[in-house]
Every structure is written in C-alpha cells, then in structure tokens.
Amino acid sequence: MKKNKLIKIYNKLLDHFGRQYWWPADTPFEVMVGAILTQQTSWTNVEKAIAELKKERLLSPRKILRTPASKLHKIIRSSGYYKQKEKKLKIFCRFLINIDRASITRTQLLSLWGIGRETADSILLYALGKPIFVVDAYTIRIGERVGLFKAEGYEHVREYFESNLPRRLTLYKEYHALLVELGKNYCKPKPLCDSCPINRLCQFCEVR
DNA sequence: ACCCAGGTGGCCC
DNA sequence: GGGCCACATGGG
C-alpha cells in the first residue's frame, strides 16, 4: 500500500506523542468495563471508578451481577451517568458469562442495550483482538478539519480508515489512541492550533 | 459561571 | 436517515 495521507498523519502523531500502548488495563474484562464507563466521560473519572471496583474485588462478571444496584451506584459514581451504567454493566455481564468470548460478534454486542458502535468496537479491538478501527467524536472532528471527509457518519468513517490502512492490530490500536491524545490536547471544539502537531494538515491551522 | 468529556437510547419528523 | 434531548460527575 502506498503512503497515503492517513499514514502521514499517523507518523506525525507518533513522532509527537510517542507510543500509547492502549488500552490501559490489566485484563480484557477491565477493558470492557472501561469501554462502558468511559461513554461521554473523561478517563480520569473512569479510573477512579475502576480503582473502586478493584478495591472492592468486584472486577469479574459474576461478582458485578451479584452486587446490589445501590452499592454499584456508589462504587462507579465518579464515572457519571451511574444509574444507566450500572444497568449497562449488568446487561453486558449477563451476556458475557454465557458465551465463548472468541465467538463474540459485533452484531451481538450491538444488540445489547447500552452497547453502541464505539463501545462495541473498542471491546472488539482492545479486549478481543479483532481488527476493527474504533471511531469516536475526536476521529470525526479531526478527520473533518484535516479534510479527510465531510460530515460522514460513524460507519463511513470506520470504512474509510479500514480501507486506507494496513489491517494491523497494533496500528489500529495506536492510531485511535493517538487521535484521542490529539483531540484531548488540541483538536477541541475550540481549536488550539498554536502548537498542534499536525498543523499544515488542518484547515483551521492553515487559516491562522 | 461556564464548557467539556474516549456515547447511547428514545423520540420525533 | 438526521436532529434533539436526558443522562451525571469532575476538571479546567
């Protein structure tokens, strides 16, 4: 595959931020829990909730299922939307204990209440090792500003990345992680272009 | 006091 | 298919 714009951006990000070694977790199940808890929530808030789950020795599907809702609410409170997320965790754990993890499909995950596209794909890529490119709000925002696509939906963006990148797990994992890093630090709703590592590719930066 | 965060489901048209 | 809303905590 010849060197395309996607690879150029990747190399810039890698030079600037270095390897990310995503997803940060001790076990695949911790990845899955984190993927649910981080929905529309900053990771620092999720870390606190996961630390609480570990402290209570609850980081297993059966133990979460045995924990009363009110207790789980307190434990994961810092991750926000804690009533919804308690339900989402229980529904997901119930699904998980009755299945061979290697056989889990995207369609199965998407059929669960509380598991949308980004959460399903994060679980597939980072917990189950399937080559699915994870798209999030940053990916779409950055892609639009850089001029890769315009107002595309989730599936189109995912296909765009998957069809223009070699199908490699570590590349998918690190690319998504680097886009999050760029998004958190620079590519916010109000762009901070001054020291953005991909300036000259982003139309906002070129305007300045 | 705002604005933002590694979304999702339910509703409406 | 897209647009709007509720959901909730914590940090800048």
Over residues A96-142, the pLDDT tens digits come to 998 999 999 999 999 999 999 999 999 999 999 999 999 999 999 99
Q: Report the CATH number of the A2-21+133-207 domain.
A: 1.10.1670.10
State the pLDDT confidence band at A66, using cuts at 50, 70 and 90: very high
Residue whose token pair is 């529904």:
A91
- Range with lowest mean pLDDT among A12-16, A64-68, A186-190: A186-190
DSSP state of A103: G
In chain A, where are the structural domains located?
2-21+133-207, 28-127
CB A113 under 7 Å to nucleic chain C: no
CB A107 under 7 Å to nucleic chain B: no
* Highest CATH level, class, for A28-127: mainly alpha
Query: Cα A40 from chain centroid?
Result: 10
